[in-house]
């Protein structure tokens, strides 16, 4: 069985160690999928890992394998009520509009930040041994629900933005199946923006 939950803020010591481990594994296994590198992040101190998780401008979702069954549950754990037992096998994070602004990322021209609260989906990864079991989909659904439930001032709509390599057919299919659509605009060569209004 798999359980989906978000990491508490502040994170527990075990959460920091587990997150470091899954993030480094993702960078090593699929270096082509990310803007950062294994070599850069292996040098992070525990405090750097802690500060990535101990911040309200980012929420990180995890799928942990608890038993051999392939069912996926979100009950309890997503609300921070359950212990985090199990092996962490998949992750995805969402970044708030405030953090995106601080990072000074150039957004697609068609996205109007004065009308839309822009969140970003980053760090999506599923362990190769656990792919095509619906974990990627469930993580994004949990993340979309969290964004929907975030209070924003009434006039603005909410959008989730992500960047994906044009050759990453698996990820593109996953995002499309969840309603993300291509969004024209400047990004790195060979990559595209995709967006979902929530
Ligand atoms: C892309 C990735 C996150 C998908 O995770 P996953 O848990 O295997 O995806 P799911 O099982 O939830 O797939 C849901 C749907 O997405 C589509 N999909 C997922 N992987 C696919 C693939 N390799 N090829 C084609 N379609 C795929 C399918 O429509 C699938 O539904 P189906 O299995 O019923 O056909 C995973 O392959 C991965 O971690 N890849 C390496 C890292 C990466 O590319 N991250 C994204 C960076 S933008």
Centroid of ligand 1 to alpha carbon of 175 (angstroms): 8
Crossing angle for the helix pair 135-149 and 169-177, nearest 10 degrees? 50
Instruction: Give the strand order in the sheet containing 87-95.
Output: 72-73, 2-6, 58-65, 87-95, 116-126, 157-165, 191-197, 181-183
| Ligand 1 atom at minimum distance from 168 CA | 44
| 2-197: CATH number | 3.40.630.30
Predicted confidence at residue 156, as pLDDT, reads: 77
3-state DSSP call for residue 98? helix
| Ligand 1 atom at minimum distance from 133 CA | 11
| Ligand 1 atom at minimum distance from 131 CA | 8
For the chain, give every domain's residue range.
2-197
From CA 90, how far away is CA 62, in angstroms rounded? 6
Predicted confidence at residue 70, as pLDDT, reads: 80
Centroid of ligand 1 to alpha carbon of 152 (angstroms): 30
Average pLDDT over residues 104-123: 90
Centroid of ligand 1 to alpha carbon of 122 (angstroms): 15
* Closest residue to atom 17 of ligand 1, CA basis: 174
Predicted confidence at residue 105, as pLDDT, reads: 83
Q: For residue 107, what are the contacts with CB-CB under 8 A and spacing of at least 6?
A: 100, 113, 118, 161, 185
Centroid of ligand 1 to alpha carbon of 137 (angstroms): 8
**Ligand 1 pocket at CB < 6 A:** 30, 33, 124-126, 131-137, 164, 168-171, 173-174, 177
| Ligand 1 atom at minimum distance from 127 CA | 39
Using CA of residue 38, residue 39, residue 42, residue 45, what is the dihedral sign? negative
Crossing angle for the helix pair 13-29 and 46-53, nearest 10 degrees? 100
Q: What is the pLDDT of residues 140-157, one digit of tens each?
A: 999 999 999 998 776 679
From CA 30, how far away is CA 69, in angstroms rounded? 26
Centroid of ligand 1 to alpha carbon of 138 (angstroms): 11
* Closest residue to atom 40 of ligand 1, CA basis: 125
Centroid of ligand 1 to alpha carbon of 114 (angstroms): 33
Predicted confidence at residue 83, as pLDDT, reads: 54
3-state DSSP call for residue 148? helix
Q: What's the pLDDT band for 125 if we cut at 50, 70, 90? A: very high
Q: Both ends of the chain: CA-CA distance in Å? A: 28
Q: What is the pTM of this model?
A: 0.94
Going by C-alpha positions, the residue among 173, 170, 174, 168 that lies closest to residue 188 is 168
Q: What is the pLDDT of residues 52-61, one digit of tens each?
A: 999 999 999 9
Predicted confidence at residue 74, as pLDDT, reads: 74
| Ligand 1 atom at minimum distance from 174 CA | 16
* Residue, of 131 and 83, whose pLDDT is higher: 131
From CA 73, how far away is CA 63, in angstroms rounded? 9
Question: Would you state the structure tokens that stand for residue 22, as one six-digit string?
Answer: 């899954």
Residue 75, judged by CB atoms within 10 A of its CB (0-12, 13-18, 19+), counts as: exposed
Asked whether residue 81 carries a pLDDT value surpassing 80, the answer given is no
Please give the sequence-ordered ranges of beta strands (E in DSSP) within the chain, or none if there are none.
2-6, 58-65, 72-73, 87-95, 116-126, 157-165, 181-183, 191-197
Q: What is the pLDDT of residues 25-76, one digit of tens each?
A: 999 999 999 999 999 999 999 999 999 999 999 999 999 998 877 888 875 4
Predicted confidence at residue 155, as pLDDT, reads: 61
Question: Would you state the structure tokens that stand for residue 39, as one six-digit string?
Answer: 């070599």
> What percent of the chain lies above the pLDDT cut of 70?
94
């Amino acid at each position: 069985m798999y359980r989906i939950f978000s990491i508490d803020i502040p994170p527990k010591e075990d959460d920091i160690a587990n997150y470091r481990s899954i993030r480094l594994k993702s960078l090593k296994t699929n270096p082509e999928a990310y803007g950062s590198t294994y070599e850069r992040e292996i040098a992070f101190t525990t405090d750097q890992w802690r500060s990535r998780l101990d911040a309200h401008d980012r929420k990180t979702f995890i799928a942990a394998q608890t038993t051999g069954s392939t069912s996926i549950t979100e009950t309890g754990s997503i609300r921070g009520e359950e212990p985090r037992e199990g092996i962490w096998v998949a992750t995805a994070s969402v970044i708030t509009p405030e953090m995106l602004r601080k990072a000074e990322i150039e957004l697609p021209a068609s996205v109007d930040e004065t009308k839309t609260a822009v969140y970003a989906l980053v760090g999506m990864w599923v362990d190769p041994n656990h792919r095509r079991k619906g974990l990627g989909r469930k993580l994004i659904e949990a993340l979309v629900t969290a964004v929907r439930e975030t209070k924003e001032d009434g006039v603005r709509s909410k959008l989730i933005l992500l960047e994906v390599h044009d050759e990453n057919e698996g990820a593109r299919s996953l995002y499309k199946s969840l309603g993300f659509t291509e969004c024209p605009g400047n990004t790195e060569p060979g990559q595209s923006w995709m967006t979902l209004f929530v």
